[in-house]
Structure 1
Amino acid sequence: MRVGGYGERMASYDDDLRLAHVLADSIERTAVELFASPGLEVSVADDGSLTTQAAQRLEELLRHQLQRTRPRDRVEGRILGATGHGDRRWVVDALDGTANYVRGVPVWGTLLSLVVEDEPVLGLVAAPSLARRWWAGRGSGAWTGRTLSRARQVRVSRTAVLEHASVSADDVASWLFGPHGQGFAQLTDRTWRTRAYGDFWSHALVAEGAVDVGLGAYLDTYQTSTLTALVHEAGGRVSDPWGAPVSGREPTAGSPVVVTNGGLHDAVLAALSPGELAEG
């Protein structure tokens, strides 16, 4: 069975992936209308991050749709916590890139993932202001486009040496002045170019082969569940700077994440922590 540019065969999570697109469709108009709205209320959370009532409104809409369509599944959301039980968990980040959203920067989106037995099997990034989506389901490949019917399959790049690599890092100060500061400086000095596309975009660009390495300073499970499913299906690798997996950790645990095309992963880890690897 073929659906536009999406694929020629049905995989086990295709129905869920179609639902993820329906979920993204259901909030897109509201999200765009509230984007950079003058009346948008913004507050600062305990960890210093920005929050807005728009995120809660969008999550409420997503939960309403999931309650109708997947009433037996557990839902874990950044704003409203967890509801339900079971091995199938929908992990929802209704508004990733809140600081961009409230300032009028178009790099923001909705991240949706399905986690089964603690493994992300489906991920979708919907970025209305960029007119793009990226998605993947286990066994179905990774894709980008505006809709399911107007999409192209993507793979990570084949870049094999750091000197030819394009790196995107968010929160550069945290990398420079954190525990990996010396390694980060050496890594960016060795690579071809360094940019700061930020938030989900860095990692989505790795999945489609436009960027070779994405470095996230503080990513939590609401982000990594989606990005891990996407990048893995595109052929890449995701870990923390020490090489440990990032999926399945506690929702509130924001920590650094390294996303690569796979071939560069070990070299990036070695560059970020040269002293630690030498001692080991």
Structure 2
Amino acid sequence: MTQSPERPSTAELLAFALELADAADAVTMRHYRGGGEAWRKHDGSLVTLADTETESMLRARIAARFPADRILGEEEGLTLPAMPMDPSSSEASPSQWVLDPVDGTHNFARGIPVWATLIACERDGRVEVGVVSAPAMGMRWWAARGLGAHRREALTGVEERIHVSDRANLEDAQVLYGSYTLTLGSWGGRVEELLRGSWRQRGFGDFWQHCLVAEGAAEVALEGEIKPWDIAAVQVIVEEAGGRLTDIEGSSRLDAGHSITTNSALHELVLRTLSGDA
């Protein structure tokens, strides 16, 4: 297929991202618990054949549908379009797809079902569409700007719009985090104060903690070390559900190397606590 001369709508981008997620599920589930080899990358993290095969497949489909778009992925990095954008096109700037073929690779490799494929599309400097597909959990979350955030449970087939909680007191809040050591070592060691002041603390980590905030099951999710492909898809889901995902300065960005997700009601308090200004 060739790229349409018209700028695709947000709804069209979302529909395509959901198609990509279906295709990714077929690849990842074929490898899951299949005894495939996992090896270590230069940074010490694991990678499996499911990671590399899924990302390659997604890249091929995106390039075929939108050849002028950039693609950033965990396994292959940034690739520029094979076909530069036509200057006369109505596209204000090239879109960029951000891919994490298997978020939670360590879980995947150990047979733990908490992993997902993350697919996002950035346009005009912000994430427009995000899909989180967790087939082993039987769950999928997605969102698009102006179209709300949603989830679907495969077992029941129930599809519903999701919203963050309205809990505004830390002592009533459930706080989630990724790596315990990385989280405690971040933000000047002030995370412990936040955890101790909250109602409940759990180390769910990865995509799931952000989605739990988006659907109102938790209020705060902390990532002490993060890459853009880890949070691009969940950022728009959280924001369309009424929450916030920012850096310590309160900026909505993907390249800060850390992230703070909340239900909005607690965001300023969390930022002040982690900054030492509470």
Equivalent residue number for residue 88 of structure 2: none
Does structure 1 retain, via aligned residues, the 8 Å contact 2:187–2:274?
A: no
In structure 2, what is the Cα distance between the partners aligned to 1:177 and 1:134? 30
Letter in 1 for 2:58: L
How far is 1:146 from its partner?
Answer: 4.1
CA contact (8 A) 1:224 1:246 kept: no
Rate the CA distance shift 1:265–1:92 in 2: closer, same or farther, 3 A: same
Question: What secondary structure, in the 3-state scheme, does the structure 2 residue paired with 1:136 have?
Answer: strand
| Deviation readout 1:126-154 (Å, 9 max, x if unpaired) | 0001111111000000000047x841001
1:35 aligns with 2:43: no
1:1-280 alignment, distance < 5 Å: 12-38=9-35, 40-81=36-77, 82-84=79-81, 87-146=94-153, 150-181=158-189, 183-247=190-254, 249=255, 255-274=257-276, 277=277
Contact 2:224 2:258 in 1 (8 A): yes
The TM-score with structure 2 as length reference comes to: 0.87
Alignment-mate amino acid for residue 220 of structure 2: V
Deviation by residue 1:210-231 (Cα, 9 ceiling, x = unmatched): 1110111221111221111111
Q: How far apart are 1:246 and its partner, in Å?
A: 2.2
Tell me, what secondary structure is at the counterpart of 2:225?
strand
Contact 2:186 2:224 in 1 (8 A): no
TM-score (norm 1): 0.87
Q: How far apart, CA to CA, are the structure 2 residues paired with 1:174 and 1:65?
A: 35
Contact kept in structure 2, 1:37 and 1:102, CA below 8 Å: no
> For residues 26 and 144 of structure 2, what CA distance do their matches in structure 1 show?
25
1:66: how far off?
1.4
Q: CA RMSD in A?
A: 1.8
> 108-117 vs 237-246, which deviates more?
237-246
Bigger Cα displacement from structure 2, 69-78 vs 259-268:
69-78
On the 8 A contact 2:129/2:144 being kept in 1, the answer is yes
User: After alignment, is 220-229 or 126-135 more displaced?
Assistant: 220-229
Counterpart secondary structure, 1:235: coil
Unpaired segments ≥5 residues, structure 1 = 1-10
Q: Which runs of 5+ in 2 are unaligned?
A: 1-7, 85-92
Distance (Å, rounded) in 2 between the aligned partners of 1:264 and 1:102: 35
Aligned-partner Cα distance in 2 for 1:51–1:231: 27
Q: SS state of the match for residue 124, structure 1?
A: strand
**Letter of the 1:44 counterpart:** R
d(CA) in 2 for partners of 1:116, 1:107: 29
